[in-house]
Structure formats: C-alpha cells, structure tokens
A = this chain, B = another copy of it.
Amino acid sequence: MNVLKTNKRKIINDPVFGFINLQSELIFDLIEHPYFQRLRRIKQLGLSFLVFPGATHTRFEHAIGSLHLMGLAIDVLRLKGVDITNEEADAVSVAILLHDIGHGPFSHSLESTLVTGINHETLSLLLMEELNREFNGELDLAIRIFKDEYPKRFLHQLVSSQLDMDRLDYLRRDSFFSGVVEGTIGSDRIIKMLNVDADRLVVDKKGIYSIEQFLIARRLMYWQVYLHKTVLSAEFLLINVLKRAKELVTRGVDIYGPPQLQWLLNHYLTAEDLKNGDHKSSMIKNFVSLDDSDIISSMKVWCNHSDPVLSYLANSVINRKLFKIKIMDHSFPKKKFKYYRTIASEKYSVAEEDLDYFVFQGVITNNAYESEYENILILFNSGKIADISEASDIDLTALSKTVKKHYLCYPKEWDTK
C-alpha cells in the first residue's frame, strides 16, 4: 500500500467503530469525489427515521464502515496464509467503498418510480466505470472484482455475498442508530472466522454459532426495522407521491422541483437505453445530482399543489399522517379491500382512476438466508465444506423459506372503529 502524503492521511471518527484510517491515496481521492460526497446526503434507511428517530445515518458512513471491515478481513485472511497482493487489497477496498455508489435517495421507493427498470447495482457499475475513466483505469481491478470476473472469487464474495462486508457493516450500524440493540452482530468474531478454500470464502467450523446468530439478528432487523409496518406505510406513500408526480408531469401539469428531479420525472429510461451514450450521460448527470433533500424539499411544496391527490399524499408523508397499514399472513378478503374502496369513492369522492393512490394492497417478502445465492459455507477441520443450513443443527431451511406477508393500506382517518 502506498505511503500517503501527509495531507491525505486521514482518520475518520465513526461512532460505531471508533477511529477509521484511510489506507491509500486512491481511496482518499474517491471519497473526495462529488459522486461519493453525495452519499452524505442519502440516508441509509430512507424514511425509517419516522419510526426510529436516531436512524438518520447515511450511506456515506456505511460505505466507510464497510471499508474498515474489509481492512480487518484482509488482515485476518493474510494471517491465515491466504495470498492477497497489495493490488488486490486496494482493489477489493475500492470495490466495497463504491458498492453502493449507485444508490439514489429513498432507494426502494425511487427504484419503482423514477428509475424504473434500472436497479442500483447497474447504476453502481455505471458510476464506477465513469470514475474509472476519470482515474485513468485505476479502478480496473476493482471493477473486475465487483463484476465477479476475477479468478479469486472470494474477493468478490467479500464485496457481495451473504456474508459480505456490506451486510456486516449495515447490520451493526442500523442496530446502533435505530437503538434496536439486540440486532447487534459479532462482526469482529465473524471476521476472525473467515477463511478461503478453493478461492471461495468460507467460515471456520467454530464460527457456526456466530453465523446462526447473524442470520437470526438479520431476520430480526428485517421484521423489527426494515419492514416495520409504519416504515412500510411511509415508503408506500412515498412511492405513490412520486407516481402521482410522474403522472402529472406526463399530463403536462407543472410541478415544483429541481431540474434533475424534473428530468427524471420526464424520462422513462430502461437499462437497455443506457447503452446509448447520450442517454447514459444525461442519466448519470441528473442521477448524481439527486439526493434526499430534493425529494423532501419538493414534497413540501407539493403539499400545496392544486392537484388534491398529490397534495394529500405529500402532506401525509411530510407531516407523518401515515396511512393505516394492516398486515396478515394470508391475503385480505376481497370484500375488505372493496369496502375501503367504496368508502373512498362514496364518502370521500375519490375518482375511480385515483383509487389506487388511497386504498392499495400488496405483498412483502423476506428470507433471512438465500440458499441459492452465494451461500455461506462452513469449513470443517477435516477439510470438508458444507452449507451453513446443513452444518447447523438448527433447521435453517425455515430461514431460507421466503416469508410472505400481505398488506392493505388506507388513510387512518377512514377507519371506522
């Protein structure tokens, strides 16, 4: 690793991990780049702060924290004799630092409205390639690792797998800031147990219990925080706000907002379109200018828009007059849904075509462990390798089973009891 010039030797104060040292000049320069600074203005957990007031931490901190854990993991693996060159160490550090660079504000809501058809991984890659051009190819190896095109596959797995540094950081961090202390995981212990076998990331056998705890804590965080019903209600409302805004723009109605938001409301690009150079550069330019503040600031203005649907919805989010959300294991009886629809149209005169904005249902799913995707492998003393779901004496198949819940939303004030 390069020796840093004094003015680029930097220590970052992190409430979760304490002092974090930056390891190389490239890392320092990437952090200074506007694309990365933008992450300071994007909350890690979107609207969750409406339920967990402390959860205002940003994707910036998360990226730095993941970088820190990557440094620890590299040290552990090297101590165990795994060969990682300095170039690889730098590259995998860059890859984790930038793994979320393509996240927009309120990611989940945004992805189903403003940038439909383009997920954040695609955008991350797009921005990494853009940065690679600016940095004269210094990110080549990082990108190969990110795209899983590098032979030492475990490097990719440190960046993206079910036990990647991304997850280890976000679980600890989200637990810390939300105040849900029991979501804490033993990131230190898990990292100490990492190993590599046949270029795959594996976990030493005595780490089994830590992995189980990690999976259960993750599941807890999902249902307790990420999929908290009030958080979901807020996110669904935000989706409806943006959908309505887009609909109005399409109809030619004028709505307030900064140019980049206007552009995104006006364009329906797909991943395919990004192959066109002009589209791509417009997309990037506008996308990297957007952050949480634009959505919030614009929504506040929309609270007074002449379109009653937009103003009603915007006001619901801004002033936290969230919709009632009911969650069930099975789908709602049709007549229940219809009942609220009828109230909407008859009592509140909502137009037929706008009903979906006020009374809507759907399905949320979650599985704590995806047995099909980059699964967690346990390395036994004998050299045998097994999936955690076999290695554990708890039946973890339940964790890999997708849990599916049904929801129904409508304005709280319409509740009849």
A interface list, Cβ under 8 A from B: 9, 11-16, 18-19, 32, 34, 37, 40-41, 43, 49-54, 56-58, 60-61, 64, 79, 176-186, 188-189, 192, 209-210, 212-214, 216-217, 219-220, 223-224, 256, 258-259, 289, 291-294, 296-298, 300-301, 318-320, 393-395, 397-399, 401, 403
> A182 contacts B186, CB within 8 Å?
yes
Query: What's the Cα separation between A297 and B40 when bound, in Å?
Result: 13
Cβ–Cβ < 8 Å partners of A292 in chain B: 293
Count chain B CB atoms within 10 A of each CB in A11, A293, A403 and give the residue with the most. Answer: A293
From the candidates B19, B57, B210, B401, name the one contacting A192 in the complex (CB within 8 A). B19
- Which 5 pairs across A and B sit closest by C-beta, in order of nearness? A182-B186, A293-B296, A15-B179, A293-B293, A297-B297
> B49 contacts A53, CB within 8 Å?
no
Nearest-CB residue, chain B, relative to A303 = B289
Q: Can you spell out 14 A-B residue pairs with CB atoms less than 8 angstroms apart?
A: A9-B79, A13-B52, A14-B54, A15-B177, A16-B54, A19-B188, A19-B192, A53-B58, A182-B185, A182-B186, A216-B394, A291-B300, A394-B395, A395-B397
Query: What's the Cα separation between A94 and B60 when bound, in Å?
Result: 36
> A189 contacts B184, CB within 8 Å?
no
Nearest-CB residue, chain B, relative to A35 = B319
**Chain B: minimal CB distance from A341 (Å):** 24
Q: State whether A37 and B213 are in contact (beta carbons under 8 Å apart), knowing that A53-B12, A293-B296, A293-B297 are contacts in the complex.
A: no
**Chain B: minimal CB distance from A112 (Å):** 22
Nearest-CB residue, chain B, relative to A304 = B259
> B13 contacts A180, CB within 8 Å?
yes
> B212 contacts A216, CB within 8 Å?
yes
From the candidates B13, B289, B393, name the one contacting A178 in the complex (CB within 8 A). B13
Nearest-CB residue, chain B, relative to A290 = B300
From the candidates B41, B212, B223, B224, name the one contacting A220 in the complex (CB within 8 A). B212
From the candidates B40, B51, B176, B291, name the one contacting A53 in the complex (CB within 8 A). B40
Cβ–Cβ < 8 Å partners of A53 in chain B: 12-14, 40, 58, 60-61, 64
Nearest-CB residue, chain B, relative to A259 = B301
**Chain B: minimal CB distance from A354 (Å):** 24
Given A182-B184, A182-B210, A213-B220, 18 more A-B residue pairs with CB atoms under 8 Å apart are: A13-B51, A13-B54, A14-B179, A15-B178, A34-B319, A53-B58, A53-B61, A181-B184, A209-B223, A212-B219, A216-B216, A216-B394, A258-B300, A258-B301, A291-B296, A293-B296, A297-B297, A394-B399
